[in-house]
Structure 1
Amino acid sequence: MEKQVNDKRVCVITFFIISLCWAPWLIAFYPGSVYWDMTYQLEQYYGYLALQFHPPFSTLIAGKCVDLGKLLFGFDNRGIFIYTMLQFFVCAAACTASVKELVRMNIPRWVVYVAISFYSAFPFFGATVQCVMKDTVNYGLTLLAYVMILRLYNNISETQSFKKTNVLLFSTFSLLSCLYRKEMIYVFLLVLVALGIYAYIKSSKIRTLLILIPVLVLVLLSGTITNKTIARGYFGQEFFAGSSEGLSIPLQFVARVAKYHDDTLSEEEKMIIGECFPFGYEGVSQSYNPYLSDPIKNSFNNTKAKENGFWELYWKLLKKNPFVFLESICAGGYGYFSIVPNVPTTVDDAPTNGLPGGRIPSLYINIGVAGEYGNLNISFHDSTSEFRNFLGNYILAFQLPYNLLYSFGFYTWVVILLVCMVMRKSNIFAVIPFIPIILLIAVCVMSPVNDYGRYYMGIIFAIPLLAGYSLELLINK
């Protein structure tokens, strides 16, 4: 049940506190730590590379921000900073919306204070908002969508209908999120189905469901048609998403069989596997990295695989080696469940202070665009180098035994615990607000990289909101 609160006062105070605490990161790392993927997107925007992998919508937004900075100020740094401020505003607004939702809940006030402190002072968030990449904006958009999902769930629970304002806001945030990350289509699709079933059971009225149909269509079409339209209409290219992007699990399994169970494969099977990679069969076992699928995935020729029987061989190997399959999944995703941080780091030059590099947002700048193509001139200011070192060391202040707060597995087990508590105290439909987070954890496990902050950070953004929701259910029951 919602409490009556002064929404404007809560929003202003929360936004001010969060902005004040995040500002040092923006100053120290001005114009922003440009992540590798963002340099590829800018290369695509300026025509040095063909459009692929990265959604054209996010590429267009980033490129326009850089263009605006160059137009107004004549400096590439200013353009990058404009995009950094976009990230800053979206994420700060999302965290503020999350806190406002907590204030409305029937929970102790100290929980709200802890949430504000978590968003403001914990280095994960300040470091994230200055890291220039498409994911950062999406963290804020998905958190705003989570807030709306929680409101829609409460609408059904309390009034057996949906408020049109909440539906409109959810449609907007989910659409933008899908444009930034195409896998969010499946997340929001399942949430809408669950909300629809719950609404029908509570109201027994078909008309209650009709309001969700346009939203469902919007979500389904957003990440495919819109991005392809932008690619053709603005860039004059076809958007190539990559045929092997979702194949990390099967390809890592085959590579693991080739590396550790070579004696179980016939010469014909080895030939089939080798034909699908430019480096041949021997290169498959040599390139296999249990924590990272990119060396295998990015070299895979799926067209050839469909022609030479690779996938038939895959199913045959799966039936013969089911435990190897499980081993490959565990090797590629255990960092999202393991509390002890022991996944080797592969991050270059990032001041991780002994922590696995993938656990901390990028605190370094990539000037590959300027160095290789001479198109952009992006750099940190030398005058803030000591400040950057200070913030890098500030990360150490939050180390607990086993680096608990920096362990993605810790947050995963928090989510599991909250889900179990909610199901014990309520019913199965009370888990609906957790659906996006559960699915994103599954996406992380199936992703190309183990224990990787860029994939997991969106889950951490939602933890205070889900904790407050669960606590309210426990108190009211």
Structure 2
Amino acid sequence: MVGRKGKKRIGESQGRKRYLYAVLYAIVLGFSVAAGSNIVFGGDVSLSYTENYMKPFGITSLLMFAAVSAASFAGIQVLLRFYGRLRLLFVYPAQGNLQRGISKQEIAQKGSSIRVELQQAVSQPKDGVFGKRRGFLLVLLLLLVSWLPYLLSFAPGSVLDDSLASITPWANGTPLTNHHPVVYSLLVGGFVSLSKILPLSLNAAVLLYSLVQSVCLAGTLAAMFCRLQRAGVRRWVLAAGIGYAMIVPYFPAYAMILWKDPLYSCALLWLSLLLFDAVRKEEVLSDRAWQIKWFLALLGTAFLRNNGAFCLLFMAAALLLSGQRKRFFYTACMTVIVALLFFTVQHTVYPLCHIADTEYTEKIGIPLQQLAATVAYEGKMGEEEREFLLKIMPEQEWKERYAPCLADKIKWTDGANMEYISQNKRSFWKVWGNLLLKNPAIYLRAYGMDTFGFWVPGVQNRYGYVDLYITENNLGLHQTDLIQKLFGSTIRPLLKKRMIWIGSGTLLWMTLGGMLLDILCREGSGSKISGREGSGSKIPGSKISGREGSGSKISGGEGEKGGKGDWIIYLPALGNALTVLLATPVAFSLRYVYVFAIGLPLYVLLPFLREGE
């Protein structure tokens, strides 16, 4: 009797926790939508604060907040109610498990909805297209062929200002800096060197880079789809996921662009895939091959973007604070070691090699935006703070340069004394903190305007989304339409016009929604699936029942939904998003959070996957 009461209290505690998670998600989503509706955006991130601004909150905002929050919470409850059916829709049940949880009497009832469920409960087809290595190669080739029209139309690929900064040290001998990660510049330098060693033009070297990057991106996606297949995802769902990667333009466009972000995002997704393997098979963590892959993915994350090491520290902290800290202790320690290795190289090896560090102002874009907003909106300011700001640039210059959605107009102002900030960092943060206390509303508004593209669902902009051009340069880099040369006609206008908008904020909330559903369905007592027949575990919303009035009772033998901890698979993507929200220089740029785009099938389907392979 006492044991039953204890279990009841635990169940009630878990129920309250799940309820709290759902309420929190709904409230934050409602606030994001309401705040986003108050933002007036003129269509260009470089516009001034008179054209891009946030309106005051009013009754309409409050009503929208309440409506969206209520609708979100209700939607979560509906998903939980019909979770069992949704899972059967997306994932093959493990062979035999469904039948073991249903009594013969129920099956015999005519017209029972159980018959429909049982007809769907067939075993997963053996030796499917993904079941062998040829399946991986098939997906790889499908993606590469579907992306080929972009590469042929815009050969050798897209090269923007950031790309040129990684090329010029090897083409013109300009000094190498860590403004753009040194390791990535070294990688680009290897391809540029080929144009000097072999009888290749610089355009041919860039084309070769585009091909290699395309294979890396397609291979990462193929590895993800193979894992989803082994986790029991139905064929039509896999086909839809592969179609998504073949059709949406930001896949072929990013495959052929000379940016660090696609490869960095692949490294992040590999971290998620390796955590996926570790959660599903406990013995994987001690496997030497898994450890080597994990180490390589950590190196790629840390050294391909300057925020990567901070993302790793976030991941390690989350792993150590999770309920599986003992199991992942070694993994977290390795993650911290790689992050510390990056900081050591950055602050010791690079200076010895005369490689300049990233400019200090590059790291404080959002604080600079908040100071500029305080000047522009004539916030409260003491003489000491005003004197400090005027030493950087005149008051009128602050106002003219302040673009709420783009920090670069402040950071790279000609004639501004940005070196003064680097020489007086402590004074800068003192002034920033003092003005924060005096103008919290202005600071919040400035932060919201500089980041809203990353957290407001449904908004998007061309800036940093899909770019299909080469910046004017003196290196001889130019695009050639190979399709026009081969066939006499061009499809360039069609490809440029073709756009499928999925904004960063939308991808964030879809990922968070997948994580929430995964936590609610896997950790709650009402959704846990037992490994023993007759344990009384339930799946919310299923009509299949071992008892009258209960939820579905499905035996959780090998192949069924597993234990807790799947949420750690989301950590690499969410850690990256957190670092971006702390330091982004612009309100829109899908490339900063591109891992959300390429990992979307995994992050959305994860709540429905079974444990065994």
With normalisation by structure 1, the TM-score equals 0.83
Q: Which moved more, 1:192-201 or 1:317-326?
A: 192-201
Q: Which moved more, 1:279-288 or 1:55-64?
A: 279-288
1:456 aligns with 2:593: yes
Match of 2:436 among 309, 318, 324: 318
Q: Is the 8 A contact 2:346 2:357 kept in 1?
A: no
Q: Is the 8 A contact 1:33 1:130 kept in 2?
A: yes
Could you give the per-residue CA deviations for residues 438-470 of structure 1, whole angstroms, max 9, x where no partner exists? 222223333001111221222211111112212
Could you give the per-residue CA deviations for residues 74-117 of structure 1, whole angstroms, max 9, x where no partner exists? 31111111211221111111111111111111332222111111
> Match of 2:396?
282
1:392 aligns with 2:491: no
> Match of 1:432?
568
Whole-Å separation in 2 of the counterparts to 1:67 and 1:455? 28
Q: State the AA in 1 paired with 2:316.
A: L
Q: State the AA in 1 paired with 2:372.
A: A
Whole-Å separation in 2 of the counterparts to 1:209 and 1:360? 38
Q: Is the 8 A contact 1:359 1:451 kept in 2?
A: yes
Q: State the AA in 1 paired with 2:447.
A: I
Could you give the per-residue CA deviations for residues 254-294 of structure 1, whole angstroms, max 9, x where no partner exists? 110010025x224442221121x2x3333122211110111
> Match of 2:462?
357
1:220 aligns with 2:336: no
Change (3 A) 1:213 1:341: closer
State the identity as a percent: 20
Shift in Å at residue 215 of structure 1? Answer: 4.6
Whole-Å separation in 2 of the counterparts to 1:107 and 1:38? 38
SS of 2:463's equivalent in the other structure is: helix
> Match of 1:209?
329
Match of 2:168 among 43, 46, 70: 43
Whole-Å separation in 2 of the counterparts to 1:439 and 1:463? 16
Change (3 A) 1:44 1:195: same
Q: Is the 8 A contact 1:334 1:445 kept in 2?
A: no
Match of 2:315 among 172, 187, 191: 191
SS of 1:53's equivalent in the other structure is: coil
Q: Is the 8 A contact 2:159 2:469 kept in 1?
A: yes
Gaps of 5+ in 2: 1-92, 95-123, 485-489, 524-563
Which runs of structure 2 are paired with 1:254-333 in the superposition (5 Å)?
Answer: 254-262=371-379, 264-275=380-391, 277=392, 279-298=393-412, 300-301=418-419, 302-306=421-425, 309-333=427-451
Q: Is the 8 A contact 2:228 2:602 kept in 1?
A: yes
Could you give the per-residue CA deviations for residues 218-269 of structure 1, whole angstroms, max 9, x where no partner exists? 3431x33446677467xx423312222321222111110010025x224442
1:13 aligns with 2:138: yes
Match of 1:143 among 240, 264, 269: 269
> Match of 2:457?
339
Whole-Å separation in 2 of the counterparts to 1:142 and 1:81? 25
Q: State the AA in 1 paired with 2:180.
A: H
> Match of 1:242?
359
Shift in Å at residue 161 of structure 1? Answer: 5.0
Gaps of 5+ in 1: 343-355, 371-375, 399-404
Shift in Å at residue 10 of structure 1? Answer: 1.9
Could you give the per-residue CA deviations for residues 37-77 of structure 1, whole angstroms, max 9, x where no partner exists? 01012123342245241111111110220120343233111
Whole-Å separation in 1 of the counterparts to 2:396 and 2:314? 41
Could you give the per-residue CA deviations for residues 383-406 of structure 1, whole angstroms, max 9, x where no partner exists? 6563322211232xx4xxxxxx43
Shift in Å at residue 13 of structure 1? Answer: 1.1
Change (3 A) 1:160 1:245: same
SS of 1:220's equivalent in the other structure is: helix
Q: Is the 8 A contact 1:131 1:361 kept in 2?
A: no
Could you give the per-residue CA deviations for residues 350-399 of structure 1, whole angstroms, max 9, x where no partner exists? xxxxxx2225321111132x1xxxxx21111256563322211232xx4x
Could you give the per-residue CA deviations for residues 302-328 of structure 1, whole angstroms, max 9, x where no partner exists? 234336x33212111111211211111
Shift in Å at residue 436 of structure 1? Answer: 1.8
Q: State the AA in 1 paired with 2:303.
A: L
Whole-Å separation in 1 of the counterparts to 2:467 and 2:405? 19
> Match of 2:159?
34
Q: Is the 8 A contact 1:256 1:324 kept in 2?
A: yes
Which runs of structure 2 are paired with 1:58-73 in the superposition (5 Å)?
Answer: 58-73=184-199
Q: State the AA in 2 paired with 1:362.
A: D
Q: Is the 8 A contact 1:160 1:199 kept in 2?
A: no
Q: State the AA in 2 paired with 1:257.
A: T
Q: State the AA in 1 paired with 2:587.
A: N
Q: Is the 8 A contact 2:161 2:471 kept in 1?
A: yes
Match of 2:211 among 67, 85, 89: 85
Change (3 A) 1:453 1:244: same
> Match of 1:353?
none
Q: Is the 8 A contact 2:155 2:481 kept in 1?
A: no
Aligned residues: 435
SS of 1:131's equivalent in the other structure is: coil
Q: Which moved more, 1:32-41 or 1:436-445?
A: 436-445
Match of 1:412 among 501, 508, 520: 508
Whole-Å separation in 2 of the counterparts to 1:272 and 1:229? 32
Whole-Å separation in 2 of the counterparts to 1:120 and 1:449? 28
SS of 1:81's equivalent in the other structure is: helix
Q: Is the 8 A contact 1:333 1:450 kept in 2?
A: yes
Q: Is the 8 A contact 1:44 1:50 kept in 2?
A: yes
> Match of 1:133?
259
> Match of 1:154?
280
SS of 1:364's equivalent in the other structure is: coil
Q: State the AA in 1 paired with 2:143.
A: I
Q: Is the 8 A contact 2:503 2:590 kept in 1?
A: no
Q: Is the 8 A contact 1:124 1:361 kept in 2?
A: yes
SS of 1:244's equivalent in the other structure is: helix
| The structure with more helix, counted as a fraction of residues | 1
With normalisation by structure 2, the TM-score equals 0.66
> Match of 1:351?
none
Q: State the AA in 2 paired with 1:432.
A: I
> Match of 1:373?
none
RMSD: 2.7
Larger Rg: 2
Change (3 A) 1:211 1:227: same
Whole-Å separation in 2 of the counterparts to 1:48 and 1:23? 33
> Match of 2:518?
422
Shift in Å at residue 188 of structure 1? Answer: 2.4
